[in-house]
Structure 1
Amino acid sequence: MKKRQNVTIKGTKDGLVLHLDDACSYQELKRELDDKLSQTLRAQEEGRIIAVKVEIGNRYLTEDQREELKTLIRQKKNLVVDDIESNVITKEEAKALRAETEVVTVSRIIRSGQVLKVPGDLLIIGDVNPGGEVIAGGNIFIMGTLRGLAHAGCYGNHDAVIAASQLRASQLRISDCLNRGPDHITSNEKHEMECAYINENHQIIIDRLQALIHLRPNLTRLEGGH
């Protein structure tokens, strides 16, 4: 009976991809990885630095185990670990991911001196008064008038947007881009909902809300992708 291979090594134009079986024991995996890498490197060109991507499937590794695998691979002189990919995340990571992707809905007025910050998207049913601040890791949607400060994509998301029934902000921020008001705001006689986004020149642009349909099609996140 042919012995099951716990380590599969595949060469690509970018380097090596190591696929590590997720069913065997961790110690068994380490031994076979050490042996396979030693055999593979004998046939490799001396002195050439090789990037390594590690795929561990449904196996969960502690930080110590990740460092052990990285050290084992780096000991082969000319190997550099680019990434270790796993299909498994911890409960803490899952909670953080959920927080970053959920929409927090608040139904109240944000008054002067008040600061509201959420990790994901923010929907406010009410106004943001001058001196009030709303900050989100994702998008900001305001069913009311924005007269205070709004900062979307505060963790570096350049695709985040700010939308409001009336955009009269004292200051707009998206990621690391800044747009001060109110001199940049044009008259909105039709009282259409407005949005702010970063354009290709890394500048914050204010437009009609309908523009987002084409500029940010991924804003629609219904089940089934429709």
Structure 2
Amino acid sequence: MLDRKQMITIKGTKDGLTLFIDDRCSFKEAMAELEEKLTELNPRPDEPVVSVIVKLGNRYIDGQQKEELNRLIGEKNRFSIVAFESDVVRREDALGWKEDSEVKAVNRIVRSGQVLEVTGDLLLIGDVNPGGRVVSTGNIFVMGSLRGIAHAGSKGDRNAVIAAAYMKPSQLRIADYISRAPDYESDGVYMECGLIDEAQDKIVIDRLQVLSHKRKDISGFERRMYNG
């Protein structure tokens, strides 16, 4: 049988308290142990409210159980839960994160008046013609000519990038940034990318090679392509 003293561990930090709940015991047992420990602490009514982070380990708790913990910790105590931290995620959340990080490979031409919209990164093997539009919550990579509109990071990701084998867009958008059609000395440029330059507070066009320096996490795209 699990030693009850190991069920609940409370540690003080500079920001308040961290409460560890052993994930091997039942929730009911943990609540009983926690009530005893809080009674021992017995804070005075004039003491300031202390912030508490609850670490659950490999345990998932639902909304009702969170309410029980909030009620137990806050009732007659000078404590307030500011966060629950768990190594377990709901299946729905995991599937959502997978979709957000997934690479969508599409082989087609986006013609005038057409809109191609995906969740995650977009790898388009084809062209975006003038009047066509591609939208992605992540990065956009066009293995062809980008002559229409491209909107990356459509849900607010300012680290998203837009890259194309041939870059001559009518408009680039990244998160809430919008750029007009770039002024090119030539008819267009090859192997270029668009990204937000925080210093200039705008979308800039640069060589594709800069991505390895300015967006170091972009290598994750390559891994996802290999791993599927």
TM-score, with normalisation over the residues of structure 1? 0.87
Task: Provide the rounded CA distance (Å) in 1 between the counterparts of 2:42 and 2:172.
Answer: 54
2:51 is aligned with 1:54: no
Question: 2:208 corresponds to which residue?
Answer: 209
Deviation at 1:76, TM superposition (A): 4.8
Question: 1:142 corresponds to which residue?
Answer: 142
Task: Provide the rounded CA distance (Å) in 1 between the counterparts of 2:197 and 2:41.
Answer: 47
Matched AA of 1:23: R
Question: 1:157 corresponds to which residue?
Answer: 157
Deviation at 1:152, TM superposition (A): 1.1
2:195 is aligned with 1:194: no
| CA displacement, residues 22-44 of structure 1 (integer Å, 9 cap, x when unaligned) | 111111112222332343352x7
Task: Provide the rounded CA distance (Å) in 2 between the counterparts of 1:187 and 1:103.
Answer: 33
Q: Give the CA RMSD over aligned residues.
A: 2.3
The answer on whether the counterparts of 1:16 and 1:52 sit within 8 Å (CA) in structure 2 is yes
Give secondary structure in 2 for the equivalent of 1:56: strand
Deviation at 1:70, TM superposition (A): 2.6
Deviation at 1:191, TM superposition (A): 4.1
TM-score, with normalisation over the residues of structure 2? 0.87
Q: Give runs of ≥4 in structure 1 deviating > 3 Å.
A: 1-4, 44-47, 187-191
The answer on whether the counterparts of 1:168 and 1:185 sit within 8 Å (CA) in structure 2 is no
1:78–1:208 CA distance, 2 compared to 1 (3 A): same
Question: 2:73 corresponds to which residue?
Answer: 73
Question: Runs of 5+ in structure 2 lacking a partner?
Answer: none
| CA displacement, residues 70-98 of structure 1 (integer Å, 9 cap, x when unaligned) | 33323355323221111111221111111
Give secondary structure in 1 for the equivalent of 2:211: helix
Question: 1:219 corresponds to which residue?
Answer: 218
The answer on whether the counterparts of 1:38 and 1:76 sit within 8 Å (CA) in structure 2 is no
Give secondary structure in 1 for the equivalent of 2:159: coil
The answer on whether the counterparts of 2:168 and 2:188 sit within 8 Å (CA) in structure 1 is no
Task: Provide the rounded CA distance (Å) in 2 between the counterparts of 1:71 and 1:154.
Answer: 39
| CA displacement, residues 104-151 of structure 1 (integer Å, 9 cap, x when unaligned) | 000001112222222211100111122222111111100111122211
The answer on whether the counterparts of 1:37 and 1:76 sit within 8 Å (CA) in structure 2 is no
Task: Provide the rounded CA distance (Å) in 2 between the counterparts of 1:38 and 1:187.
Answer: 75
1:200–1:40 CA distance, 2 compared to 1 (3 A): farther
| CA displacement, residues 151-173 of structure 1 (integer Å, 9 cap, x when unaligned) | 11122211111101122222211
Give secondary structure in 2 for the equivalent of 1:122: strand
The answer on whether the counterparts of 2:4 and 2:33 sit within 8 Å (CA) in structure 1 is no
Task: Provide the rounded CA distance (Å) in 1 between the counterparts of 2:77 and 2:4.
Answer: 29
Task: Provide the rounded CA distance (Å) in 2 between the counterparts of 1:140 and 1:218.
Answer: 14
| CA displacement, residues 39-81 of structure 1 (integer Å, 9 cap, x when unaligned) | 3352x79342322111101111122222322333233553232
| Aligned 1:1-226 pairs, distance under 5 A | 3-42=4-43, 46-180=46-180, 182=181, 184-187=182-185, 191-201=189-199, 202-221=201-220, 222=223
1:76–1:99 CA distance, 2 compared to 1 (3 A): farther
Task: Provide the rounded CA distance (Å) in 1 between the counterparts of 2:146 and 2:67.
Answer: 48
Alignment coverage as a number of residue pairs: 220
Matched AA of 1:200: E
Matched AA of 1:40: L
Matched AA of 1:195: C
